[in-house]
Amino acid sequence: MLGVIVVFILSWLILWFVLKEHITALGIVPSFQRLKEFLWGFIPMAIFCVINLVGQAYLKNEHYIRNPDYGFNEGINGAWWTLKAALFEELIFRGAILYILIRYIGIVKGCMLSAIAFGIYHWFSYNMIGGRIIPMIYVFLLTGAGGWMFAYAFAKTKSLYAPLGLHFGWILVSIVFLSAGPLGNSLFIPAGPTEQFGEWTNLVFFLWQAIIIPGFVTWVLMKKYPKIENQELEV
């Protein structure tokens, strides 16, 4: 939690020194509309993640079993950890810096730079620097596509709630429910004989995460928020 607090304070200082604006410019003050935006992001992304991981398990001839050692307290701790992780990354990559970029260079360029930074960041968080180039490209494209989606949600809603919902929905399901993350075995564990994917199956799931989901979210945002009130935030 200390990391979130530090980033929050730094974001406030950056906004004040660069634009003379307060942290509330990031749309952090809660409201009914922003709660809806959070849920609008959270629910679809949780469903998309279930489809992704359960679909992969099915095609690998795996199934999920309940982890008897994972109880209520573990679930709460896991959910709190993922929420802090999502909030920390949103404040860094979809916070003050992106807000300033959008003001000076527009939505598309600002969101692209944020997405590129997000992709590169995951090379370090996954300890991939100096490793094989193909996995690095794969991770960059997947996380960069997610970074674009989160950044565009921030730009369109002018609030951190929608990107936080999108981000939290995905990692809560993957890490806390389906054991696909840094916390190890969680509520449900994949079991059974594992079969390798063919190239076409790998491509389908790659496109699902890197193109279809971000593309769908971007399309919905464009339809739901066709115009930006502040002319400085227009593409």
pLDDT tens string 94-149: 999 999 999 999 999 999 999 999 999 999 988 888 878 988 999 999 999 999 99
Inter-residue contact 162 to 38 (CB < 8 Å) = yes
Inter-residue contact 82 to 175 (CB < 8 Å) = yes
Q: Tens digit of pLDDT for each residue in 41-74?
A: 999 999 999 999 999 888 888 889 999 999 999 9
The pLDDT > 90 percentage for the chain reads 76
Mean pLDDT score, 189-197? 79
The pLDDT > 70 percentage for the chain reads 96
Q: Tens digit of pLDDT for each residue in 19-30?
A: 999 999 999 999
Domain ranges in the chain are 2-20+33-233
Q: Tens digit of pLDDT for each residue in 215-227?
A: 999 999 999 888 6
Alpha helices by DSSP H, listed for 106-158, are 107-125, 133-157
The yes-or-no verdict on residue 81 having pLDDT over 70 is yes
Quote the pLDDT of residue 202: 84
Q: How confident is the model at residue 233 (pLDDT cuts 50, 70, 90)?
A: very low
Mean pLDDT rounded to a whole number for the chain: 90
Torsions phi, psi of 196, nearest 5?
Answer: -80, 145
The C-alpha atoms of residue 106 and residue 108 are separated, in whole angstroms, by 6
Q: Return the half-sphere exposure (C-beta side, CA atoms, 13 A cut-off) of residue 155.
A: 36
The C-alpha atoms of residue 213 and residue 218 are separated, in whole angstroms, by 9
Q: What is the DSSP string of 150-193?
A: HHHHHHHHTSSHHHHHHHHHHHIIIIIIS--STT-S-SEEEES-
Quote the pLDDT of residue 74: 93
Residue of 92, 220, 99, 218 lying closest to 155 (CA atoms): 99
Torsions phi, psi of 66, nearest 5?
Answer: -70, 135
The yes-or-no verdict on residue 235 having pLDDT over 70 is no
The C-alpha atoms of residue 165 and residue 86 are separated, in whole angstroms, by 9
